[in-house]
Amino acid sequence: MLFRPRIHAADFEAAAMPHLADLYRSASFLIRDSSEAEDLVQEVYMEAWKSFHRFEPGTNCRAWLFKIMFHRLHHLRRRLIKASKVEAFTRPGDEDNLLAEPPVPQEIRDGDILLALEKVPLEFREVVLMADVEEFSYKEIAATLRIPLGTVMSRLSRGRKLLRGELAEVAKSYGIQPRTREASDGESA
């Protein structure tokens, strides 16, 4: 009979707790609901605690926690998609709950960037978030999302291109025109 090595709460806290804010920030951005994000992060830490005997000290605990989070997130999404298919048949339309358009702000803010990022398809958004916000290496992203390294680089490139396109639309709606090649050449001369 095999016994698990004794796990000390202090070891777990020292390795895992410094990453709580990063996990919550990413979860709340990906889920867009603070209470659901809190639940997800709690599930991640519970799963990490149960699996901590398999964690190798000295390795990247942050990447390990994010891997758990993305696994739980994909499970949550599958469950929500299944529930939404059932709900679509029970509530065909809610015309009474339409919201008015918010007024257009006068400057581009962080919220505008986050909204533009939300429009990027999920498989690209996850990679952009992990690379550009959480600053994971390509190798760590590949291991976390269980995709090949080349796929990470491709999705990151395409995701950034899609994000640039979305941000260009936001800028255009505020009257900000893109710099033309002649204008940028004239400034450097």
Q: Are residues 86 and 113 in the same domain?
A: no
Q: Is residue 187 part of a domain?
A: no
Q: What is the DSSP letter of 54?
A: G
Q: Residue 149 has what pLDDT? A: 94
Structural domain count of the chain: 2
92, 123, 150: which is the final residue of a domain? 92
Tell me the CATH number at 50: 1.10.1740.10
Q: Are residues 12 and 79 in the same domain?
A: yes
Cα first-last separation, the chain: 76
Least confident of 23-27, 82-86, 127-131, 150-154: 82-86
67, 92, 117: which is the final residue of a domain? 92
Q: Is residue 15 part of a domain?
A: yes
* 160 has pLDDT over 80: yes
* Top-confidence residue, 81 or 118: 118
Q: Residue 96 has what pLDDT? A: 53
pLDDT tens track for 44-60: 999 999 989 888 888 88
* Top-confidence residue, 18 or 100: 18
Tell me the CATH number at 143: 1.10.10.10
Q: Are residues 133 and 82 in the same domain?
A: no
Task: Give the model's confidence band at 7: pLDDT under 50 very low, under 70 low, under 90 confident, else very high.
Answer: low
46, 66, 92: which is the final residue of a domain? 92
Q: Residue 147 has what pLDDT? A: 93
Task: Give the model's confidence band at 100: pLDDT under 50 very low, under 70 low, under 90 confident, else very high.
Answer: very low
Q: Are residues 87 and 153 in the same domain?
A: no
> What average pLDDT is seen over the chain?
80
Handedness of CA 121, 126, 127, 133 (dihedral sign): positive
Least confident of 3-12, 75-84, 90-99: 90-99
